[in-house]
Amino acid sequence: MSPSKKSARPHALATLVLHAGDAPHAPGDPVVPPLVQSVNYVQEPGSDELMYTRYGNTPNAERIQKRIAALEGAEEALVLSSGMGATACGLLALLRPGDHLLASQYIYGGTHRLLTEEFTQMGIDVTLVEPFEPRAWRRRLRKETRAIFIESPVNPTCRVLDMRGVSLLTKELGIALVVDSTFASPVNFRPLEHGADVVIHSATKFLNGHHDVLGGVVCGTSPYIDEVRQKEIVWGQTPDPFACWLLERGLKTLDVRVQRQNESAMEIAQWLEARKEVRRCHYPGLTSHPDHAVAKDQLDGFGGMIAFELAGGARAADRFAKRLKLARYAASLGGVDTLVSEPRFSSHARMSADQRATIGIPDGFIRLSVGLEAVNDIIADLEQALR
Ligand SMILES: *Cc1c(COP(=O)(O)O)cnc(C)c1O
């Protein structure tokens, strides 16, 4: 199946984040759309189109869905109550018991658990693949393979997957290519333009960007989004109107936020790379990054996420984390505040240290989500914590 179709973009992204999907305005209209915090709506007796918040067909959800679809160049988008809800419903709409899913082994910890623990229990077979191995996908294919799932850039190692080979393969086979594009946001990467069929986001991260909304998004063709909506309705993964209203507010500044985060992160990554306390700095914008060429070719910006390894390992990481003053030590990413976290205690806590090391996350590995503070203040904070 092919759940995507590109649509023309009438405006630049900086304009689309503010206005895409807006109805024509008239005198007396509020400039800020109202929050409609109602679960149900009065209906025509006998009408069979139920308007109910869990069905995702309420005003605040529909506004934001149109806007995000325009940002990704998708026919339709669906907003869900979390990134995990989006991943679960987005994949369950494609897979049935007996089907096989190929997934990159470099995926968010929660997604890893969903695929390897929950899906396998439901009779959906999942093979985790080393995507940087030549012909990796083709060699793991089965006749039951229905979709390929990747995450790029990868949380937390900032590896960037080359979309070319994998999208040619899914097109050739007529199976779906599903991309978790949370780390990039549509400002830096629009997977549908590179042959993906489905785009998933944790809207909790860059899309909302203010650390105050949990949400997820799935983008694709209308018939596919209808299927995802059926999953959303029965699994109860619909967001509350207030979450949608806040997400719309957060989205308005997506372009300026991400542009600034791209610039600051580049400067910080170059600074980190030169420090003796730092063994390695992983940032796709650095020429030392293994995927720099792919990133330069396929991304519009290198992103606000950096990872680095402290030469002193776990003990150095403990000391560094305790000394931070401006940056906060907290889970999650992609927001206005600079955050530091360690995958060994957060997204990848359920893996063993050995398992983490094999996917490039040794102890002493720090993830930095660059916020909107002045870049020199962020660097000064990192410097005093490293010393
Ligand atoms: C955070 C995250 C998720 C899960 O999103 P939630 O909103 O926390 O459910 C999925 N994928 C990636 C890459 C993430 O960073």
Q: What is the 3-state secondary structure (H, E, C) of the chain?
A: CCCCCCCCCCCCHHHHHHHCCCCCCCCCCCCCCCCCCCCECCCCCCCCCCCEHHHCCCHHHHHHHHHHHHHHCCCEEEEECCHHHHHHHHHHCCCCCCCEEEEECCCCHHHHHHHHHHHHHCCCEEEEECCCCCCHHHHHCCCCEEEEEEECCCCCCCCCCCHHHHHHHHHHHCCEEEEECCCCHHHHCCHHHHCCCEEEEECCCCCCCCCCCCCEEEEECHHHHHHHHHHHHHHCCCCCHHHHHHHHHHHCCHHHHHHHHHHHHHHHHHHHHCCCCEEEEECCCCCCCCCHHHHHHHCCCCCCEEEEEECCHHHHHHHHHHHCCCCEECCCCCCCCCEEECCCCCCCCCCCHHHHHHCCCCCCEEEEECCCCCHHHHHHHHHHHHC
Above 50 in pLDDT, residue 348?
yes
Q: pLDDT band at residue 7, thresholds of 50, 70 and 90? A: very low
Q: What percent of the chain has pLDDT over 70?
A: 97
Ligand 1 centroid to residue 83 C-alpha, Å: 5
Ligand 1 centroid to residue 352 C-alpha, Å: 20
Mean pLDDT of 330-356: 89
What is residue 5's predicted lDDT score, i.e. its pLDDT?
Answer: 36
Q: pLDDT band at residue 315, thresholds of 50, 70 and 90? A: very high
Q: What is the pTM of this model?
A: 0.94
Q: What is the pLDDT of residues 127-165, one digit of tens each?
A: 999 999 989 999 999 999 999 999 999 988 899 999 999
Please give the number of the atom of ligand 1 that sits closest to the Cα of 214. 7
CATH 3.90.1150.10 intervals, the chain? 254-386
Above 70 in pLDDT, residue 220?
yes
Above 60 in pLDDT, residue 226?
yes
Domain 254-386 sits in CATH at 3.90.1150.10
Catalytic residue among 63, 106, 108, 190: 108
Above 60 in pLDDT, residue 242?
yes
Is 205 a known active-site residue? yes
Q: pLDDT band at residue 349, thresholds of 50, 70 and 90? A: confident
Q: What is the pLDDT of residues 161-188, one digit of tens each?
A: 999 999 999 999 999 999 999 999 999 9
Domain 13-251 sits in CATH at 3.40.640.10
Q: What is the pLDDT of residues 89-109, one digit of tens each?
A: 999 999 999 999 999 999 998
Above 90 in pLDDT, residue 37?
yes
Q: What is the pLDDT of residues 254-284, one digit of tens each?
A: 999 999 999 999 999 999 999 999 999 999 9
Please give the number of the atom of ligand 1 that sits closest to the Cα of 151. 13
Ligand 1 centroid to residue 100 C-alpha, Å: 23
Q: What is the pLDDT of residues 53-72, one digit of tens each?
A: 999 999 999 999 999 999 99
Catalytic residue among 54, 66, 279, 296: 54
Query: Looking at per-residue confidence, does 247 or 360 come out higher?
Result: 247
Q: pLDDT band at residue 10, thresholds of 50, 70 and 90? A: low
Ligand 1 centroid to residue 80 C-alpha, Å: 12
What is residue 11's predicted lDDT score, i.e. its pLDDT?
Answer: 77
Mean pLDDT of 317-342: 96
Mean pLDDT of 201-222: 98
Please give the number of the atom of ligand 1 that sits closest to the Cα of 182. 13
What is residue 3's predicted lDDT score, i.e. its pLDDT?
Answer: 41
Q: pLDDT band at residue 352, thresholds of 50, 70 and 90? A: confident
Q: pLDDT band at residue 355, thresholds of 50, 70 and 90? A: confident
Above 80 in pLDDT, residue 2?
no
Is 180 a known active-site residue? yes
What is residue 9's predicted lDDT score, i.e. its pLDDT?
Answer: 59
Is 224 a known active-site residue? no
Lining ligand 1 with CB less than 6 A are 82-84, 108, 110-111, 151, 155, 180, 182-183, 202, 204-205, 214, 216
Ligand 1 centroid to residue 11 C-alpha, Å: 28
CATH 3.40.640.10 intervals, the chain? 13-251
Please give the number of the atom of ligand 1 that sits closest to the Cα of 334. 15
